[in-house]
């Protein structure tokens, strides 16, 4: 089978499980990121024999079972860097990039004038995309990242080594965690999807990403936000900042949690889809 026919075969079969545009995007990504064949090469070298047909059929079978393309190629890009992912980690998403970009925008300009390091705590780090990016982008920053799962933390550590970041990783349950120091910034993208919302989610998420990184009980969807906001009383420096990625349905309620804990300058910020996605505030 030639490169061109193999690509057409992949695209056509993917449309049995995905919308046409999504199937085409997945096919392009598999071709470029796993087989190192660009769209230009498909046109200019399309009659060349494709040498990975058996492997392609295995990949196609996985994709038809809704295995995320990121698990097949082994990584996801986040703000220009490639982060290794597995079924033990949440796949980094564009909405989280917006959260990190906001922190960099608001604290990056302050870095040159700081006389002490900027201390950051990332709660529920997953791949460590947030922690690593902040460490590499914010000058003179010291970042600590916690996660409850040891397998997830190993992936996070590997990402830090690969990308040249210096992160202190701690295995801990945030509902029981008691930090031993204070921080200038606390940031978290905790589990926030309710089980009711899970019913309408795509199977590539529900079947292949870790439940404990995604879901919360419908009866207490803000359990992690409440705990983290309470934690800030003793853990966040005066004039320190708390940043949350949130469930779009609970923006007002999350902001109220911060207000109850004495935060000021509380903001609810919408993402690129015009959905409530970030809540942040300053401890006074």
> Do 154 and 242 share a domain, yes or no?
yes
Q: Which two tokens stand for residue 175?
A: 């509902």
In this model, does residue 267 exceed pLDDT 70? Answer: yes
Residue 217, C-beta contacts closer than 8 angstroms, at least 6 positions apart: 194, 195, 223
- The answer to whether the CB of 169 falls within 8 A of the CB of 148 is no
Going from the C-alpha of 213 to that of each of 115, 152, 259, 279, the distances in angstroms are: 36, 10, 26, 19
| DSSP assigned state of 49 | B
Whether residue 58 is found in the same domain as residue 197 = no
As a whole number of angstroms, the distance between CA 217 and CA 72 comes to 30
Residues 59 and 182 in one domain: no
Whether 151 is in a domain gets the answer yes
Write out the residue range of the structural domain in which residue 53 sits: 3-65
Same domain, 186 and 246: yes
Residue 12 lies in a domain: yes
Residues 278, 284 contacting (CB under 8 angstroms) = no
Cα 226 to Cα 67, 106, 221, 239, 261: the distances in Å are 33, 24, 10, 19, 9
Residue 273, in any domain of the structure = yes
Phi-psi region of 245 (alpha: psi -120 to 50; beta: other; left: phi over 0): beta
Mean pLDDT across the chain: 95
Domain assignment of residue 202, yes or no: yes
* Backbone phi, psi, residue 196, to 5°: -65, -40
Residue 29 pLDDT more than 70?
yes
> Do residues 59 and 131 both lie within one domain?
no
Tens digits of residue pLDDT in 66-97: 999 999 999 999 999 999 999 999 999 999 99
* pTM of the entire predicted model: 0.94
Q: Tell me, yes or no, whether 70 lies in a domain.
A: no
| 3-state SS, residue 207 | coil
**104 assigned to some structural domain:** yes
* 134-171 per-position pLDDT tens digit: 999 999 999 999 999 999 999 999 999 999 999 999 99
Shared-domain flag, residues 110 and 194: yes
**Over the range 143-154, which residues count as b (16 or more CB within 10 Å of their CB) and which as e?**
bbbbbbbeebbe
How many domains does the chain divide into? Answer: 2
Q: Do 59 and 14 fall into the same domain?
A: yes
Q: Is 273 exposed, middle or buried (0-12, 13-18, 19+ CB in 10 A)?
A: exposed
Q: In this predicted model, what pLDDT tens digit does every residue of 164-216 receive, in sequence order? A: 999 999 999 999 998 889 999 999 999 999 999 999 999 999 999 999 999 99
* CATH for 249: 3.40.50.150
Asked whether residue 262 is assigned to any structural domain, the reply reads yes
Q: Answer for the pair 97, 79: CB distance below 8 angstroms, yes or no.
A: yes
HSE at residue 22, side-chain half, CA atoms within 13 A, is 13
CA dihedral (118, 124, 130, 135) in degrees, to 10, reads 30
């Amino acid at each position: 089978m030639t490169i061109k026919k193999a690509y057409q075969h992949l695209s056509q079969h993917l449309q049995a499980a995905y919308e046409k545009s999504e199937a085409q995007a997945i096919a392009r990504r598999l071709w470029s990121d796993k087989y190192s064949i660009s769209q230009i090469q498909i046109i200019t070298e399309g009659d060349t024999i494709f040498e990975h047909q058996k492997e392609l059929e295995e990949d196609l079978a996985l994709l038809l079972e809704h295995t995320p393309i990121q698990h097949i190629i082994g990584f996801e890009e986040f703000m220009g860097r490639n982060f290794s992912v597995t079924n033990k980690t949440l796949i980094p998403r564009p909405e989280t990039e917006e959260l990190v970009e906001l922190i960099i925008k608001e604290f990056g300009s302050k870095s040159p004038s700081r006389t002490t390091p900027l201390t950051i705590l990332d709660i529920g780090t997953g791949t460590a995309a947030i922690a690593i990016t902040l460490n590499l982008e914010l000058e003179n920053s010291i970042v600590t990242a916690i996660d409850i799962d040891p397998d997830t933390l190993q992936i996070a550590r590997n990402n830090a080594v690969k990308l040249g970041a210096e992160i202190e990783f701690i295995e801990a349950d945030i509902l029981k965690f008691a930090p031993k120091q204070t921080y200038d910034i606390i940031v978290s993208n905790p589990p926030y999807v309710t089980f009711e919302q899970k019913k309408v989610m795509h199977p590539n998420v529900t079947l292949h990403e870790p439940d404990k990184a995604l879901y919360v009980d419908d009866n207490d969807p803000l359990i992690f936000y409440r705990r983290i906001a309470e934690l800030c009383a003793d853990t966040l420096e005066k004039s320190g900042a708390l940043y949350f990625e949130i469930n779009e349905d609970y923006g007002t309620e999350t902001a109220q949690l911060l207000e109850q804990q004495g935060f000021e300058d509380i903001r609810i910020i919408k993402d690129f889809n015009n959905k409530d996605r970030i809540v942040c505030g300053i401890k006074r």
